[in-house]
Amino acid sequence: MRSSDRTVTPILQSDGTPRVHDKDAAAPFEITLAFDDNRHASMLFGQYDQNLAKMERRLGVLANANGNHVTIKGPEDACEQARQVLETLYARVKLGQTIGLGEVEGAIQEGTLQGNLFPNAEIGRTVFEQIGTRRRGGVRARNAAQDLYLRALKRHELCFAEGPAGTGKTWLAVGYAVSLLEQGQVERLILSRPAVEAGERLGFLPGDMREKVDPYLRPIFDALNDFMDPRMVERGMQTGMIEVAPLAFMRGRTLTNSCILLDEAQNTTAMQMKMFLTRLGEGSRMIVTGDPSQVDLPPGQVSGLSEAVGLLRGVEGIGHVRFSETDVVRHDLVQRIVAAYEKRSRSLNSPGGASEGEPRR
Q: Is 351 exposed, middle or buried (0-12, 13-18, 19+ CB in 10 A)?
A: exposed
Can you say whether the dihedral through the CA atoms of 177, 179, 182, 185 is positive or negative? Answer: negative
Residue 322 β-bridge partners: 162
pLDDT in tens, the chain (361 residues): 345 555 555 444 434 444 444 444 445 688 899 998 889 999 999 988 999 998 998 888 999 998 889 999 998 888 888 998 999 899 888 888 788 887 888 788 776 665 443 344 444 445 678 888 888 888 888 788 888 999 999 999 999 999 988 888 999 999 999 999 999 999 999 988 886 654 445 455 566 556 666 666 778 888 899 899 989 999 998 999 998 877 877 888 889 999 999 998 998 999 999 999 999 999 999 999 999 888 888 888 889 999 999 999 889 889 999 998 878 876 667 767 877 877 777 777 766 555 444 444 3
Q: Is 322 exposed, middle or buried (0-12, 13-18, 19+ CB in 10 A)?
A: middle
Domain span(s) for CATH 3.40.50.300 in the chain: 130-330
Q: What is the C-alpha to C-alpha distance for residues 266 and 260, in angstroms, rounded to an integer?
A: 16
Exposure string of 60-97, with b = 16+ CB inside 10 Å and e = fewer, is ebebebeebebbbbbbeebbbbbbbbbbbbbbbbeeeb
Q: Could you give the dihedral angle defined by the CA atoms of residues 148, 150, 151 and 157, in that order, rounded to the nearest 10 degrees?
A: 120
Give the rounded distance of the alpha carbon of 182 from its chain centre: 23
Domain span(s) for CATH 3.30.1370.10 in the chain: 4-117
Angle at 327 between CA 185 and CA 165, to 5 degrees: 80
At 130 the pLDDT is 83
Compute the radius of gyration of the chain from its Cα atoms.
24
At 206 the pLDDT is 60
Q: What is the C-alpha to C-alpha distance for residues 278 and 291, in angstroms, rounded to an integer?
A: 22
Please report which residue ranges of 20-160 form alpha helices under DSSP H.
38-45, 50-59, 76-94, 101-117, 144-155
Q: First-to-last CA distance in the chain?
A: 59
Superfamily of domain 130-330 in the CATH hierarchy: P-loop containing nucleotide triphosphate hydrolases (3.40.50.300)
How many residues comprise the chain?
361
CATH architecture of 4-117: 2-Layer Sandwich (3.30)
At 207 the pLDDT is 61
Q: What is the C-alpha to C-alpha distance for residues 270 and 303, in angstroms, rounded to an integer?
A: 6
Judged by DSSP in three states, 169 sits in helix
